[in-house]
Structure formats: structure tokens, C-alpha cells
Chains A and B, each alone.
Chain A
Amino acid sequence: MREDALGHGFQVPVSQYGIHIFVAPMARVVFTAQLLRFTETPEVETAAATLREALEASFAANPQLRGYVLDEQGHLRKHVAVFIDGQKIRDRQDLSNPLTPTSEVYVLQALSGG
């Protein structure tokens, strides 16, 4: 697979006739492997426009994951760290941070809280 000329997606050759389909890029959500001790962490690619929507897509794949990342008020747990494209998020309640189609979201455990 290759990034297209505009950097917006991927062109995938699908036949010997050279027909290409355009696959829309999607944000990717990756969870710390530390969570595997407790529950599955499916790696999700999503068209979500915000962090919360992306997390919801992950929770749809494994509902048990929600309680490990968010508390019962829907806030990011105090000692869970989320990075979007390398930047750590600061607002732990709203989670409305915008995502781009190429965003990479990492849900990690903070060094605090151990």
C-alpha cells in the first residue's frame, strides 16, 4: 500500500487491469501492552473526529476496556496518559480533542500511579 499523491490515503491495486480503489485513511488507536494482563486491547482504525469517538470505537470492540481507561464519570483515569500525534492531552474530562484521518492515538499508563 502507498500513500497517494496528496498524502490523503492509500491506493490499493486490486486487479490485473490496474483498477485502483481509494481507501480513506483513518485514525489509529493503540493501547499500552500493560493492559493485556487484564483485558484485550484491539487495535482500532476509526474515522472518528474526536478522541472520545475514537475511544468509543475501541470500547465497542471490547466493552470491558472502558473501565480501565475511563472512570464512571467518563473522564480519563488519573494515571492513564493519552498522546495524540505525539502530544500528551491535558483535558481529561471533555476528550473532545480533534483527530485527523492520519492521527495516531496512544493510550499509555502514566509513570505516576504505580
Chain B
Amino acid sequence: MSQRAWIATRKGLFQLLLDTHAGGPANWRVASHSFIGEPVSMVLPGSSTHPMIAALNLGHFGVKCHASDDWGDSWHEVATPAYPPQPEDAQDEVAWKLVQIWSLAAADGVIWAGTLPGGLFSSKDCGATWHLNESLWDRAERLGWFGGGYDTPGIHSICIDPRDTKRMLLGISCGGAWLTRDGGMSWELRAKGMNAAYMPPDRADEQNIQDPHAIAQCAAAPDTLWCQHHNGIWRSTDAGASWHEVKAPLSSFGFAVAAHPTDPDTAWFVPACADQQRVPVDAALCVNRTRDGGKSFETLRTGLPQKDCYDLVYRHGLAVSADGQHLMMGSTTGNLWASADAGESWQNISSNLPPIYAVRFEATT
């Protein structure tokens, strides 16, 4: 099996291919690019039931969605999620205007888009039309959400349960975690156990204001979720009903998390100093990996810059392949690294890419 990955950046979308030669080392290379010069906020690799989707965030002309059925050789613009007319008496602090597509996921031919300012959209026709999930948007709790990283709240994580695709968990900054069991018809808040040091003490454990930077799910054990939160790392083994804090070495602050696809005890994190100093600890980049459910961590550094490094890995900037062996990590400085041994060692693929927003693997044969 060969590997393909996609890199969404501040100035375009890049296709990465893993070249394998008999007897030789396997090397990733930048194979193609699309939308050069345009911000691509998120990409959804294609499948047999949906096209590849690229979400552009044009600086002047708004959010646009493009679809491709040929791995980016050609693109056509499809519809963009749009909020309904904002009622004049709406109690919102946010305008009902699409700011950014922050997350994309798909299952059973349905594409889900998590957006700023907090709306979840779905498309059943490959992006030709989009529908706002009103049962979540109309929740009274939404008015208590606020921006984390951006001026408005946003949905950055969409974890679809492979056993039952009607079960889906969302991560919202700042709005906690929300679970649906019925395909989005109803929702329940699932952030119990998380703690927010940025709130007044009496509101620190309030679920609806938590800031999960990213939430990742173990595909083979979907009740196991890993959360890189603004104030630490949390893990759930009951589909988000309860969360338990995990302490990582160096720092538990960061943005990215990757969950092993088959081993619920294994996950990777990329620590940064702290929220007020978002650079690697001691200017040396590393990856924290746990293989025992968070009881202990290994700090992996081989192949990563250990001097004068100020790269930050955003919340979607770390990904693991379906076999759990390949990892890829992209930074705000435009560095891209890959690992073929589950993070033990890393190779630099490029140091000259635009700031990297998202890394996603696609399995190819």
C-alpha cells in the first residue's frame, strides 16, 4: 500500500506522496499543488462515496468550497455553507455569517463541516447543498460559547463513531464537547471533568465554556477520546461522559493530538511552553507519546530540530495514518516532518512551505 497525504496551508493545498523503492528508503515528496496563494483552511480527502473537498478562506471574497474527483488534478466550485437570515431579535453576540470552515469529516456519503462562528453543516450531495444543523445552533447554551483562538466560537473537531455513524462527538472552542446519538437531531454536552483556568474559579468546571483545542478518537475503540485542551490533556474512555486529566512531560499545553487508529492507549501530542508563550519548550521541538493510556509518556526528538526552533503545530497539524505507523506534522513556520516508525524518528520533508493549517492522510493502493 502506498500513502498519500494532503497539506492545507496559508497559501495553497499540497499533495504529498510516499515513494517506495524496492530496497531503498521511502521518501515523501510534494507531488502537486492547488490554489497557490489562497488560504486553504481545511481539506477532506476523497473516498468512494464523496469527492475531495478543499475549503478556501479567501481574504477578500469569503469562504469557498471546491471539489475534486481526481486527486486535485481538476477542481470545481461547489456550494458554500451559509447561515440563514439572522433574526432581528437574535440574542447573539456573533453575526450569522460564515467566517471559516474549521473541520471537515464524512461518513456514509454525508459530509460534515464545522465552522466559525459555531455552526455545524452537512451535505448529502457532495457539497451541492449544505444544511445548518439547527438543533445544535438553536441550543440556548450556544449563546454562552465564545471565541478561543479566533474572535468567534468554532467547531474544530468532528469525531464520527465508525460503529454507528449517527453517533458523533464535536469539539468546540470555546463550547466544550457535544455528542449526538441520532445523527444530529439532538445533542448533549459531554465535557465533564475538563477544567478551565482562564475562567473565574466558580465557573472553571462548567462544561459549556471549555476550550478543547482538538479532540481525536481511536477508530477501533471509538469510546476512547483524547483531548488537547487549553489547560492540559484529558482522556475519556466512555465516549465523553467523563474526562480524566493526564499529565505529560515538559508541558501539557499544546494544540495538536493524534489518536492511534487501533490502540486506544496510544496517542501523540506536540507540547508548547504555555498559552502565553506558544513556542517549543527550550526552543527544541518534540512529540510526547503515550502507549499506556496516559500513565506515562515518552518524549520523542530524533530528527526534530533541537536548537533555535520556534515552530508551533496547530490543532490540525499532526496526523497519523490508518496503520498507526506513519505520522506527519506541519508547523506555522512551514516545516513538514514525517515519521515511518510511530514517531520514534522524524524526517524533514520541506522547510519552505507556507504556514501549515492541516495535515491529513489518505490511504491509497
B-binding residues in A (CB < 8 A):
34-35, 38-39, 64, 67-69, 71-73, 75, 77, 79-80, 109-110, 113-114
Q: How far is the CA of A64 from the CA of B65 in the complex (A)?
A: 12
Q: How far is the CB of B80 from chain A (nearest CB, A)?
A: 6
| A114 and B60 form a contact (CB under 8 A) | yes
| B60 and A71 form a contact (CB under 8 A) | no
| A73 and B60 form a contact (CB under 8 A) | no
Q: How far is the CB of B77 from chain A (nearest CB, A)?
A: 7
| B62 and A71 form a contact (CB under 8 A) | yes
Q: How far is the CA of A110 from the CA of B59 in the complex (A)?
A: 10
Residues of A with C-beta under 8 A to B62: 67-68, 71, 77
Residues of A with C-beta under 8 A to B84: 72
| A38 and B95 form a contact (CB under 8 A) | no
Q: How far is the CB of B74 from chain A (nearest CB, A)?
A: 15
| A34 and B96 form a contact (CB under 8 A) | no
Q: How far is the CB of B104 from chain A (nearest CB, A)?
A: 19
Determine which of A38, A64, A73 lies in contact with B86 in the assembled complex, contact meaning CB atoms within 8 Å: A73
Determine which of B61, B82, B97 lies in contact with A68 in the assembled complex, contact meaning CB atoms within 8 Å: B61
Residues of A with C-beta under 8 A to B18: none
The contact string, 1 if C-beta is below 8 Å from chain A, for chain B 54-97, is 00001111101000000000000100101111100000000111
| B95 and A80 form a contact (CB under 8 A) | no
| A71 and B77 form a contact (CB under 8 A) | no
CB-CB nearest in chain B for A72: B82
B110 within 8 Å of A (CB atoms)? no
Residues of A with C-beta under 8 A to B83: 72-73
Q: How far is the CA of A77 from the CA of B57 in the complex (A)?
A: 13
A-binding residues in B (CB < 8 A):
58-62, 64, 77, 80, 82-86, 95-98
| B60 and A77 form a contact (CB under 8 A) | yes
Q: Can you report 6 residue pairs joining A to B where beta carbons are below 8 Å apart?
A: A64-B77, A67-B64, A68-B62, A72-B83, A73-B96, A114-B59
| B61 and A80 form a contact (CB under 8 A) | yes
Residues of B with C-beta under 8 A to A114: 59-60
Q: How far is the CB of A47 from chain B (nearest CB, A)?
A: 27
| B98 and A72 form a contact (CB under 8 A) | yes
| A77 and B85 form a contact (CB under 8 A) | no
Query: Are A35 and B61 CB-contacts (below 8 A) given A64-B77, A67-B80, A72-B82?
Result: yes
| A80 and B60 form a contact (CB under 8 A) | yes
- Given A73-B96, A75-B97, 11 extra CB contacts under 8 A: A35-B61, A38-B77, A67-B80, A67-B82, A73-B83, A73-B95, A73-B97, A109-B61, A110-B60, A113-B59, A113-B60
Query: Are A72 and B97 CB-contacts (below 8 A) given A38-B77, A64-B77, A67-B80?
Result: yes
Q: How far is the CB of A43 from chain B (nearest CB, A)?
A: 18
Q: How far is the CA of A69 from the CA of B328 in the complex (A)?
A: 37
Q: How far is the CB of B54 from chain A (nearest CB, A)?
A: 13
Of B59, B64, B80, B83, most A-chain CB atoms within 10 Å: B59
